[in-house]
Amino acid sequence: MKTCIKLIFAGLVILIGSSFAAGTNQSRPVNWEKRLQKYRIKKALSEAVISWLSDANDSAAVECERLADSLLSLEEPGVSSYFIAAQVANLREKPDKAITILEDVINNHPDENAPIGIVLPVKIVGRFWIGTIARHSGDMTKAKNVYEMVLTMLQSPENIEGLEGKGNMMMRCNLYLAEIESLHLKRNDLALARLEAIERIKKPAGQLSAGYDIHDIYKGWAKYQHMRMSKGKDQAAQQLVEYQGMTAAAPLMAVTQLKLCGISQIIGYYRPEHLRAGIIDRALLDRFRNTISPIDWSLVTLVYGFGHQGEGQRAQKEELHPEAEKHYLEAEKYYSELFEDDSFFSPVAGIYLAHIKKVQGKTVEAESVLEQVRAKYPGYDSAVAELKESWNKSKNN
């Protein structure tokens, strides 16, 4: 099973650096000094964040906030400056400040593209970030209100750039709302209604891409959550099926959803050249890998496992065997945690766990994991058979 997912860089350092990169080799425009000032602040902020997170430097932490505030005090701070400042406030455990900054950028630049590497407007992405921050800071009322506001916007006839098909975003909103209503508000009746609403969302034409159907996967996720809530986890597991391309698509699906929520991803950031961005991403991911949101926990855990798997494969290809072993063991740890859970992504983690064990020569353990996947999730029988067949072909070649 080869790593075929394109890595998406979404860390704060990337936000800081990318917004100035364009045009640096061109002739100076009229507002060059303003752009240069903004660039210098962002560069200093990048260095301060790294110093704070890597060295536990308290003075650097204070400097981070000062520089973020300086960005917003510029005459024309720009959209990326708001998102950077909000993420700094979030890292500094100041959710109210982060939410206020995001509300400002939504009010000032609602229709501009958010700087997350996905073409979506600020008014959608900003609210998704607010929803995440509110959820993880315990303000479920705020989170519920903002997701319902996004749903209202998506249900309007107005076209939104990047959202020609609004169904996927509506499904994400409803999944988080169902989690809030069930886990935190103790209203399973409302949560079940949310999940039923997801199953009724129609698929627009042209959804199938890259060999998988994201719309069907989200509907399957809602169906699993509904079954788990109404019939219990054992019956839900027995009836869970692998949707087309689910095993291959899951890591990218996780990364995309985390980016929309303001939680950066870790894939590819273990290598030295990505160390700076990796420090920030790990700080964000670790913060959201908790019991407040089982959805986010499962997504982050999958991303960590896949990130270590990719780095293990890279190191093995470069014959850096001790490094490869280290990453494979880390991947095993995260995949095992997710497989032992009762998440929609648990059988996917089991498939990847078996693959990682096989790569390391732990054939008996790998086959045991596959049998556990088959027993607990019979709907994944074809995925198990496909992986076993690939092993047999490799043995014969």
pLDDT at site 20: 39
pLDDT at 282 (0 to 100) = 75
Say what the pLDDT of residue 168 is: 84
- Which class for 298: exposed (0-12), middle (13-18), buried (19 or more C-beta within 10 A)? buried
Walk along the chain (397 residues) in steps of 10 and give the mean pLDDT of each run: 36 41 45 80 82 82 91 88 90 94 95 84 93 94 96 78 70 96 95 94 62 81 96 94 87 89 49 50 76 92 92 90 92 96 96 94 95 95 91 76
Q: For the chain, what are the domain ranges?
A: 1-112
Nearest to 287 by CA among 156, 104, 135, 79: 135
pLDDT of residue 213: 79
Q: What pTM does this model have? A: 0.85
379: phi then psi, degrees, rounded to nearest 5:
-70, -10
- Check residue 269 and give its pLDDT: 32
| Spatial distance between the Cα atoms of 345 and 251, rounded to a whole number of angstroms | 10
Cα–Cα separations (whole angstroms), residue 61 to 40, 51, 54, 268, 388 = 18, 8, 11, 26, 50
Rounded to whole angstroms, the Cα distance separating 135 from 127 reads 12
> What was the pLDDT predicted at 135?
94
Decide: 3 and 29 in contact? Cβ < 8 Å: no
Residues listed for the chain: 397
